[in-house]
A and B are shown apart, each in its own frame.
Chain A
Amino acid sequence: MTLHVPLETRVLSNGLTVVVSENPAAPVFGLCVLYRIGSRLEPRGRSGFAHLFEHLMFEGTPNAGKGVFDRVCESSGGSNNGQTRPDVTIYVVDAPSSALERILFLEADRMTALAFGQESLDNQRDVVKEEIRVNVQNDPYGLFEYGELPLALFDKWENAHDGYGDFHDLDAATLADVESFFGAFYRPNNAVLAVAGDVAADDVFEKAERLFGGIPAANLPPRPDLTEPERTSPVHLVKEAPLARTPAVAMAWRMPERTHPDAIPLLLLGELLHNGRASRLYAGLVEGRQIATDLSGGFNPFQGGTWYDGTTLFLSRLGYRRDVSETTVLAAFDEEVARIARDGVGEGELARVKTKVLTDWYAGLEPRLGLAVELAQAVAFSGAPEALLDLPAQIDSVSNEELRRAAAWLDPRTRAAIVKVPPREDKVAK
């Protein structure tokens, strides 16, 4: 069982890393431009700014007006999107190979300069606020694992603040902030361009040199230390969720650095507990004891794999029945974890979970865009795209002993947990 991924890498003189993986099987390509700036590194007093800025990247340049990027992409047969993550912001395109040059042109154009006024900033600020209203106010559980849990778990502002941002901070953002953020972080030496699919590597390198080569590099701000030691005490918060119909608990632990020997075993542990109907939590709490109704979670859930700077969180979220207490649910969760820490898992189960992790990983790399995003992240976090292909061997080598040691990280004494309960007087029948 092997995966053949041809890789070619070129670093332009301005520091832009270009990665290409050729695959002529279908006449399409996936493209990812990644900037090494995410919500954790946005300025203090400007929470939510990285995300707001992502929106502004679609507001036009001196060359291509507002909306041109979307329109050209669509009328070329493609689609595009942007996403702000804790450590990186990615801009992605899926398109037929006939559109390669114009997409590269447009990406280079908006890396060169942005052009917009106060009106665009105000407009996108409103769009972002609306996005927060819809995603937070419409969600019966609100920010939960995205905002409230990191705040409860971490000490450093970078790790603990809410990446959606609060309205006060968003309102404070100015055009000067936009300009300095672009100048500091949206530079070629802070970016990766990855293209996978029906393209020729030499052709991509030639076009990249011609279109991106003239964009000047800049001195990048120093990167702060994002690591945090393990917690020494638990956090347990209970909040009322007015729109919720059933209770839920989200819990998390601080994780070691991505190069720590426990990182890959923790990744595997996350899957063992959460992934699919054969997972420990599904079999034990949903199907077995029938106390939980749904579950999700795992290691480094917001960026995937072991792609993160400093620390990340291990997340578990359980929805449970109204007639079950939070104490019962947490105790059942702790029992499942303790059983792994004490007994490990059977060899058959260990092999099955490894297979499942690898299969999901392969499935994520088959769409060209999925591969492009992973290659860009591999460059951003480990310095080389080839690091992506280490995962199968890393997963394969995890031993039962390492899995048991990983389970010891999920200690109730270092946990941050938030419980959301529906209003007590809510008598809505199921």
Chain B
Amino acid sequence: MSSLENLPPLGPPRPVPAPRVETKMLPNGLTVRVIPYSGVPLASVRLVSRGGLSVDPAPSPGLARLLAASLREGTTTRTSAVLAELAQEAGGDLSAGAGPDSLSIGASGLAARVPLLLDLVADLAMRPAFPSDGVARVKDLVHEDLETSESEPSYLAVRTFARALYGSHPYGTISPTTASIDAVTPELLAVEAGRRLRPERSLLLVAGDVDPAAVHSEAARLFDGWSGAGAAPAAVPAPVAPSGPRRILVLDRPGSVQANLLVGNLGFPRTDPDAYPLELAMTVYGGSFTSRLVQNLREEKGYTYSPGAGASWLAGCGTVRSYAAVRTEVTGAALNEILYEMERMATTDATDEEMERAFRRDAGSLAISLQTAAGVADEVARLWVLGLPPEEIGREVDELASVTKADVRRASRRVFGTGAARVVAVGDAAAIREELGTFGEIEEVPAGG
């Protein structure tokens, strides 16, 4: 890789210590996990509930996002302004967000103020008020965000790609529409909050400089009496991977000087034995500066500055995708190279050097992300949503270390076969349509999605 002969060698890789996690379950079914972690006198509290964008009712795409943002607008006992003052008093922030599989409420601040932080999180989860002025403000903000996003080609590409991969499955919808935002009412939000925010479908996490016993008893006191309302959301079926032939979706953005390309397919869930081999495969393929895709598209061909690839995990499946924003005139050439590199991963072995680099890279970035209490809490929450226990953290480096070249090739074969791949191109259709037709059937997508 470099001609630097006097570069000192790396030391042996150090394990990432498994965090101490103390778990209890309340009588109402709420799982409470406390992760004591000293260093700075801070703590973070988060409540994660299964019930994100994928359980939005069909007529209300993107509802989870509005629901999460509206939680922050007030409770039956506190106005938005009072919540802000109390959060400030604890030294912290109070926030709520929505992902594909979950809703999350978080508060962070001084460890000494954990009872207040827990109180605020419990208040948002158990007693949201959805005041009409607050909901109206949230709707305005989401409208504005949506409008801004619609002008960004990278967003348009991601939205089209989700539709291409998942079709009418709930994972195929990643954002609200003007109509679905307009249709939101405080009443609708209250019903959805009751259905989704329920103890037996939630995890409460407290990480930081805290005494686990004290946190457990405070959590038991505050969340006692919490129950959901209405019917819990139905289970989301696992999506079915699209089968061949390869399809190419083109979204026209007249006058674009670049084309945003996304290429990929469905893989398998994070609980699959090939998950760790796939993580390493993605790093070898396109997840780092020294990866094949970046070296090829950026360093050798000069088609783009920012190509890359990654795997993302959802509750029932995984996705792999490659991305590149390329000059219009090399769109076809760039797609050709992407498909070639995908096939190469599926049909040939990685080199020893690639394997070692990928392992160091993945183990290193994992250790870096787990250096703070909040980083550990994020990982524990992420694993929970994917159906994995917190102990997985202590195993991750060993699992990565034991992956062989054969494992990487096998995992690659499962996701990199390009015959059924989905390709999205956002750009000047007139300039790229014909060339892209070489690679498969073209389907033009209307701008509205």
Check if A413 is an interface residue, CB within 8 A of chain B. Answer: no
Check if B243 is an interface residue, CB within 8 A of chain A. Answer: no
Check if A287 is an interface residue, CB within 8 A of chain B. Answer: yes
The answer, among A3, A96, A358, for a CB contact under 8 Å with B91, is: A358
Contact A76 B360 (CB under 8 A): yes
Residues on B with C-beta less than 8 A from A100 are 11
The answer, among A74, A282, A287, A358, for a CB contact under 8 Å with B290, is: A74
Check if B87 is an interface residue, CB within 8 A of chain A. Answer: yes
Residues on A with C-beta less than 8 A from B188 are none
Segment of A183-191, A231-239, A360-368 in the binding face: A360-368
A358-391 at interface with B (beta carbon < 8 Å): 358-360, 362-363, 365-368
Interface size class of A (residues with CB under 8 A): 35 or more
> Closest approach, in angstroms, between the C-beta of A100 and any C-beta of chain B?
7
Given the interface pairs A98-B14, A287-B80, the reply to whether A74 lies near B361 with Cβ below 8 Å is yes
> Closest approach, in angstroms, between the C-beta of B138 and any C-beta of chain A?
13
Contact B80 A95 (CB under 8 A): no
Check if B109 is an interface residue, CB within 8 A of chain A. Answer: yes
Q: How many positions in chain B have a CB within 8 Å of any CB in the partner chain?
A: 56
Check if B329 is an interface residue, CB within 8 A of chain A. Answer: no
B73-118 at interface with A (beta carbon < 8 Å): 80-81, 84-85, 87-93, 108-110, 112
Contact B368 A78 (CB under 8 A): yes
A76 and B11 alpha carbons, distance in the complex (Å): 10
A-B contact count (CB 8 A): 163
Residues on B with C-beta less than 8 A from A95 are 364, 368
Q: Which of B108, B112, B289 has the most CB of A within 10 A?
A: B289
Check if A296 is an interface residue, CB within 8 A of chain B. Answer: no
Check if B234 is an interface residue, CB within 8 A of chain A. Answer: no
Residues on A with C-beta less than 8 A from B59 are none
Check if A176 is an interface residue, CB within 8 A of chain B. Answer: no
Residues on B with C-beta less than 8 A from A276 are 84, 87-88, 93
Check if A250 is an interface residue, CB within 8 A of chain B. Answer: no
Check if A26 is an interface residue, CB within 8 A of chain B. Answer: yes
Contact B88 A3 (CB under 8 A): no
Contact B364 A77 (CB under 8 A): yes
Interface 1/0 per residue, B339-368 and A, CB below 8 Å: 000000000000000000100111111011
Segment of B38-46, B176-184, B309-317, B319-327 in the binding face: B38-46
A1 and B288 alpha carbons, distance in the complex (Å): 41
Residues on B with C-beta less than 8 A from A70 are 289
Contact A278 B85 (CB under 8 A): yes
> Which single residue of chain B is at the shortest CB-CB distance from A95?
B364
Check if A355 is an interface residue, CB within 8 A of chain B. Answer: yes
Residues on B with C-beta less than 8 A from A353 are 88
Check if A339 is an interface residue, CB within 8 A of chain B. Answer: no
Contact B361 A77 (CB under 8 A): yes
Contact A356 B363 (CB under 8 A): no
Check if B237 is an interface residue, CB within 8 A of chain A. Answer: no
**28 residue pairs A–B, Cβ–Cβ below 8 Å:** A1-B41, A1-B112, A3-B41, A27-B367, A64-B4, A65-B2, A68-B2, A71-B290, A72-B4, A78-B364, A96-B363, A96-B367, A98-B11, A102-B7, A198-B14, A276-B93, A277-B80, A277-B81, A278-B88, A283-B81, A352-B85, A358-B110, A359-B92, A362-B40, A362-B41, A362-B42, A366-B39, A367-B371
Binding site for B on A (CB under 8 A): 1-3, 23, 25-28, 63-65, 68, 70-72, 74-79, 94-102, 105-106, 197-198, 276-278, 282-283, 287, 348, 351-353, 355-356, 358-360, 362-363, 365-368, 430
Please provide the 9 A-B residue pairs with the shortest distance between their CB atoms, ordered closest to farther.
A77-B364, A359-B91, A27-B14, A98-B11, A277-B84, A278-B84, A101-B8, A26-B371, A278-B88
Known: A68-B2, A77-B367, A101-B8. 13 other contacts (CB 8 A): A25-B17, A27-B367, A64-B4, A75-B288, A76-B10, A77-B360, A79-B368, A99-B11, A101-B11, A278-B88, A348-B89, A359-B92, A367-B371
